[in-house]
Structure 1
């Protein structure tokens, strides 16, 4: 194995994947949300840097080629599991998440079955866009979780009438609850929309890989 900077970044991204989930067991919210967001965004950024540096410095290795897609899938799957837990099994999150998880498992199974001919399932540009949209969607949903926590803390003890009064401006908003509620709404709907777009791209790329593998599946 050749240890270089691109491979080191890939391994750090792989290690960051379980850390995104573990911080919620070790730290109270919203600190856990912030740490998870920083870990996820930082690890997602290395997905571009390690590939760029490997090509620029001619340091592409078998280790990096093998670990890079694994690290991407681990980051997305574990972060999705964290988001599902934070959002309380919301159907708007569960359905696209199920599509993404199914596709990743299905394509990994295809590659394993194809063995030496798995090169026919090379990563396409659309698949790279799919991964990017997935990571942006999850990042936005982590941010939404932060706003949700702060809005919940500021509205604790308020009844529906008082909350409506704060949102309408009839009741003084000394703690900025209205702003947090607006930011929560914007990031929630944006994150959900991006996740559904990611699920659509995930389905399309999965179908493309299946069509490419089909000739090798016939008896």
Structure 2
């Protein structure tokens, strides 16, 4: 194992994922919303930096390649769980369906990669999948900001954050679905039974 700065950034992002949930367990709102937003946004930014620095400094490692998608998935899945649990009930149905699509696809693609083993290189991350991750992270950050507006009684900001966040989450869910189908189609030749 090689501990480079990009790998450390990835590991910090992975550790930040459960800390987002901890904010809501130990702090009251809106402080929990602020801390979760800052932690989530900061960790999301490292997603771009760790890959960029690894390529720039020629420090791409197997450890980083393994940890990066795990950190991304942990951040998104834990944050979505928190949002579904802590969102005002009138907005919950609009968040649950795209969150379900995202959760299902992430588990499905992880299962495909695990099953394919050595041939999992077939499912390398595509540019569209990177856009999907970006859309998910931006949507989640905007939805976390909604809680801040709500507790400061800023109705206009709260409505803007809710509508924008939900719209972005649906876009993210669509991209998530498209990339999931793409990975499935790429995996199909490896799933055929031997004649």
Give yes or no for TM over 0.5. Answer: yes
1:82 aligns with 2:82: yes
Q: Which residue, out of 114, 138, 141, partners 1:139?
A: 141
Deviation at 1:82, TM superposition (A): 0.7
Aligned-partner Cα distance in 2 for 1:69–1:93: 23
Shift of 1:216: 0.6
Show CA shifts across 1:69-122 (max 9, x none): 000000000000111111146110000000000000000000000000000000
Shift of 1:145: 1.1
Partner Cα separation in structure 2 for residue 118 and residue 28 of structure 1: 43
Segments of 5+ residues of structure 2 without an aligned counterpart are none
Query: Residue 29 of structure 1: SS of its match in structure 2?
Result: coil
TM superposition shift of 1:132: 0.1
In structure 1, the residue corresponding to 2:152 is in which secondary structure?
helix
SS of the residue corresponding to residue 139 of structure 1 reads helix
- Residue of structure 1 aligned with 2:183, choices 209, 212, 219: 209
- Partner residue of 1:64? 64
1:182-206, Cα deviation, whole Å (9 max, x unpaired) = 1111110000000000000000000
Find the aligned partners of 2:159 and 2:29 in 1 and give their Cα distance: 19
* Deviates most, 140-149 or 86-95: 86-95
Q: For 1:79 and 1:131, locate their aligned partners in 2 and report how far apart those are by CA, in whole Å.
A: 13
The answer to whether residue 85 in structure 2 is matched with residue 111 in structure 1 is no
1:153-164 correspondence runs (5 A): none
TM-score (norm 2): 0.97
The ranges of structure 1 where at least 4 consecutive aligned residues each deviate by more than 2 angstroms after the TM superposition are none
Q: Distance in 2 between matches of 1:25 and 1:194?
A: 27
Normalised to the residue count of structure 1, the TM-score between the two structures is 0.86
| 2:161 matches 1:195 | no
Consecutive unaligned residues in structure 1, runs of 5 or more: 152-179
1:15-38 CA distances to partner (integer Å, 9 max, x unpaired)?
A: 000000011111111111101000
| Whole-angstrom distance in 1 between the partners of 2:88 and 2:124 | 36
